[in-house]
Structure 1
Amino acid sequence: MKLYFLIIFAFFTIASTAQKNNKAYKITYSRTSNGKTIEGQDPVLVFSDANESIITSENNITGKAEYPFEETFITQNSNVIQLARLSASRKIFTVDSLSLAKQTFEIGNETRTILGYKCKKAKTIINSNTIELWFTNDLNIKGASSILGQKLGLVLEMNRNNNYIITATKIEKIKSIPTSLLTLKSNFSAIDALTYRDLLWKSRFITIPVFENEVINFSDASKSNDSILRFANGTIILKKIKFPEIKSGSQVFVDLKEQSNGDAYDRTGTVFAIPAKEKFSFMEGLKNGAKTLPVYENGNGKQYQGVIKTGEFSPLLELMRFFTPFGIKQYGHIQLKDKTWHESVPYRQDISELYSALSNQEVYIGTFIGNYDKGGHKISLNITIHGEERQSPKDTFVLPLFNTTNIMEMAGQEYATMFNNEKGLVVDFVLEKDVKNAKLRYITTGHGGWENGDEFVPKKNTILLDGKEAFGFIPWRMDCGSYRLFNPASGNFNNGLSSSDYSRSNWCPGTVTNPMLIELGDLKAGRHSIQVKIPQGPNEGGGFSSWNVSGILIGD
């Protein structure tokens, strides 16, 4: 901290003497990408004299900048002071006294003229990017549009890989650097560089914390509290979340981290949403039992609770399907030669196409992991919202149609075995208005049995819209061996393979199953039907196959 105070004291000393220097300049820079000027950009501004250089932007100067934004000060003794305004009330800075000294360049003989000033070329490579800087010493000042090349002279152009270029468009001689830029506010908090970068990065998006180290297990002792609701003997957890407005074009992600807390097996998991204000939702079944949910029947003699949309009822809105690995963390003590097990498995999925179902809404966010273990699993879950500089339209129509994953497995909900009937799964629904560019967000995974069970046998999924085939494919994952280090408790066989190595019906232990976006075209208002057909395998002794499929109609 003493170093900070010495540097800041020096900074103020320089600032107080800067007014006496009459060789100050304001340089304006513009950015181009792939030969085109970037539209709507905030021009970079550099103020420089013999004592220091300040990097800011036009919006920072005019007060139009959106949080967070940065300003960088480079002193004559090569200290870099980075200041960030994270919000109107939160400001931080850090000091770097080494970065400029570490920069190395290859100075060439080539020259060119920019804005009437003779420039030399300096070249460097950073993270496999070739960067060329064109700098001049004609003005006897130093500065650049970034901290790169600050000691060379005045950098008038930065060219990265010949596709991203920042070029000076105007050089103005000014009486002095504006006093407002030279005053370091007293309520800035000094922190180390790593923490500074982390706080700045996290301030660029919204993080909604949902669960933190919550246990999902099977136990009569699993009870709800004021924050976390638990159902089906603890295998389902929910929390009510109020989402802010999510602007069109934003990116929305689900982030989940899982560790075994006792269970050694690979299990089905799902992250889902239930609107809090719906009169009749899946929450009714969670609170009062699966038998209170609407029943789907297709003639095979079984009743499937809460799996399709009816007039008033909507099935679970599935955000992400994931699968736990074999005993990660809890069974890391199992030793195999040349195997260093991971401590946790991260799952991260883009759910931006569902943003309108969450924007400015109060919903229950839930997570299910099917298991019969008292220790179960431990998870942490966040949802992050990332704004885009250039807004692009996103799907605004979201209608959950079906979800056969029986999250109430441990409370009597039937397994999804309806595909043993030719009819399969049929959902009739009514559109109140036309839907353009309609797509079915379809997630499918096959389960059950060994060798001849559908978990290990490729099966074609056929989706029909209004009686006509819209799409057909065989969901199959052949990359499961890539995730061996997530699976310390995976069984090993005489053929040299581990259970987690085997290919499966669209999932692997320790992975997310990605949705398919099936194009359906423009749909007119009125009645429609979606049918899913899968040649489900027959029962084998006490074993059976099933298919967890979910479908959400999206469009605009």
Structure 2
Amino acid sequence: MKKLLLFVLLLVCGNAISQDYKITYLKSSNGSLIENQDPILAFTSSEVTQIGSQSIFNGKADFPNEIIFVDRRTNSFSQVANLDATKTINSKDSVSLGKQTFEYLNDTKKILGYNCKKAKTIVNSNNIELWYTNELKVKGAPTILGQNLGLVLEMVRNGNFVIKATNIEKIKMFPTDPDLSKSIDMLTYKDLLWKSRFTTINVFKDQIINFSSESKSNDSILRFANGTIAVRKIRIPEIKVGSQIFVDVTEQSNGDAYDRTGSFFIIPNNKTLSFLDGLQNGAKTLPIYNNGNGKEYQGVVATENYNPIVELMRFFTPFGVKQYNNLQLKDKTWTENVLYRQDVSDLRSLLSNQEVWIGINIGNYDKGGHKVSANITIHNEEESKVTPKQIVPLFCTNNIMKMAGQEYGTMFSSDKGLEVTFKLDKPMKNCKLRYITTGHGGWENGDEFVPKKNTIFLDGKETFSFTPWRLDCGSYRLSNPASGNFPNGLSSSDYSRANWCPGTVTNPIFIDLGDLEAGNHNIQIKIPQGLPEGSSFSSWNISGVLLGE
């Protein structure tokens, strides 16, 4: 009888010691609570802790969402992510908790009536202060950090960001432990969780862009200009106003050793004629622009029945990355490829909820050419006050069909330069010209290596002028193994150029045009293009899109 009574007493005492708690935490920044936040909840007992947002534990969280499960019996933790309604992943870490180190201080204070001690540590150059109590006989924290200190009730990062407990309550029912039976490595876990946070549209994968009569189209990818252009029709979902849209291209040489002009572009098809007609039927079927110098320029300006391409991204290949990495130089390790990535959120209305023709081009004359992959990623924002933009394609002199006879952009040799007239059916406010420009051709005295002023006229009045130039080309030497080296100690890829470098993106600039009334308007671009030198000549690849509200 005495043994039975002792057992009951131990059981009761054990239950009292192993009380479970729910702690609610809120975040503050610079002394003010962050508005509309989803509180952090920590459920903790003597053996385990679960951490996640309030919406997750209430079953109302959006996907993806994540909880942390701490197991003190093994001094380990698992991260568990619900990527969607059917897919859950997890990864276990048995090392990190044991490696946490802290400096213990003599400071004390009360939080929610409990006496707390202070510890501090440094994480990625951030100073972290933690206030913890041992009075509740359990351990836990709102993050992985400090799980073994005691019950952390406040964390302060760099003195201005605070996560602080606002409520502690005893609970009778603990959340069900997550299923940890199928664990994956942490690197894979983090990668899958990261990718689930945005939408990826794969446009091209290891696509060869070369120059060969053997280049052929297939059911999904059309190839033109002897393989130097690849085009696909892509369905793009609806994109919320204010969301971020990025494009990325990965490139490596598949044989070509030279720096080349590349373009990742949209083919507008909202008029009678499109650039796709020119690809399928020849450049001569596109509208002709004449500026009085005796040459005909195909498909470069908008007309009543035609829109030129819209460049998502202008990029430039380096000298032979990957294919020529065997050309060794002391203390230089060549990159395996080049990644170009750019924000194109301003072009949302050309992409959202549409089926669009998207193409990629690298001008080259090599049978091996280049290998490229290209994607569009959509990163949704919850709410935005951004005003949707109207988009009017205006011009593009980048002769993407160069290998199929499209004329170079040499129209700037005359005083007229490039001129386009366009009509607005209704007024547009806060208009901007999204303008990309790069100079090409010639040798020492060619426009590729000589600064030249670009001047933009709107309705006959000079609106803006600047000299596009890049001084940082030497920064990309490790992407240019086949770049020629000169007696002065420089490599060809080091030299400054007319707004581009081998291995870089050329960003658009945005030129304010003000409010435009309905009716006809005229934009003119003038550049003092250099004169030909023997068989060498200069040209300019410019493209422009009108953006407005």
What interval of TM-score do these two structures reach, taking the shorter chain for normalisation? Answer: over 0.9
Pick the aligned partner of 2:414 from 418, 421, 438.
421
What is the letter of the counterpart of residue 165 of structure 1?
V
- Number of the residue aligned with 2:339: 346
Give distance in 2, aligned partners of 1:467 and 1:272.
30
1:111-126 matches, within 5 Å, as 111-126=108-123
1:75 aligns with 2:75: no
1:35-434 matches, within 5 Å, as 35-77=31-73, 78-177=75-174, 181-185=175-179, 189-275=182-268, 278-393=271-386, 395-434=388-427
Deviations 1:161-185 (A, max 9, x none): 12322111222222232xxx21434
C-alpha deviation, 1:19, in angstroms: 8.9
Give distance in 2, aligned partners of 1:278 and 1:163.
55
Deviations 1:482-508 (A, max 9, x none): 111111111111111111110000000
C-alpha deviation, 1:421, in angstroms: 1.1
- Number of the residue aligned with 1:446: 439
C-alpha deviation, 1:113, in angstroms: 2.0
The aligned length equals 535
C-alpha deviation, 1:80, in angstroms: 0.5
C-alpha deviation, 1:76, in angstroms: 2.1
CA contact (8 A) 2:268 2:308 kept: no
C-alpha deviation, 1:464, in angstroms: 1.4
What is the letter of the counterpart of residue 78 of structure 2?
I
The 1:212–1:20 alpha-carbon spacing in structure 2 relative to 1, beyond 3 Å, is farther
Paired residue secondary structure (2:496):
coil
Deviations 1:117-151 (A, max 9, x none): 22222111111111111111121111111111010
CA contact (8 A) 2:17 2:137 kept: no
1:3-18 matches, within 5 Å, as none
Give distance in 2, aligned partners of 1:478 and 1:198.
36
- Number of the residue aligned with 2:4: none
Paired residue secondary structure (2:361):
strand
CA contact (8 A) 1:118 1:138 kept: yes
1:29 aligns with 2:25: yes
CA contact (8 A) 1:135 1:156 kept: yes
Give distance in 2, aligned partners of 1:171 and 1:56.
15
More divergent stretch after superposition (94-103 vs 160-169): 160-169
- Number of the residue aligned with 2:6: none
Deviations 1:422-448 (A, max 9, x none): 111111111122222211111000001
The 1:91–1:20 alpha-carbon spacing in structure 2 relative to 1, beyond 3 Å, is farther
Deviations 1:276-314 (A, max 9, x none): 565421101000000111111121211111111111211
Pick the aligned partner of 1:437 from 423, 430, 450.
430
CA contact (8 A) 1:353 1:394 kept: no
Give distance in 1, aligned partners of 2:72 and 2:112.
25
The 1:231–1:21 alpha-carbon spacing in structure 2 relative to 1, beyond 3 Å, is farther
What is the letter of the counterpart of residue 253 of structure 1?
F
C-alpha deviation, 1:114, in angstroms: 1.8
CA contact (8 A) 2:18 2:46 kept: no
C-alpha deviation, 1:22, in angstroms: 6.2
Structure 2: any 5+ residue segments left out of the alignment?
1-13
Structure 1: any 5+ residue segments left out of the alignment?
1-17
Give the TM-score normalised by structure 1.
0.93
CA contact (8 A) 1:79 1:98 kept: yes
Give distance in 2, aligned partners of 1:436 and 1:34.
37
The 1:238–1:31 alpha-carbon spacing in structure 2 relative to 1, beyond 3 Å, is same
CA contact (8 A) 1:22 1:176 kept: no
More divergent stretch after superposition (29-38 vs 231-240): 29-38
- Number of the residue aligned with 1:10: none
Give RMSD over aligned pairs: 1.6
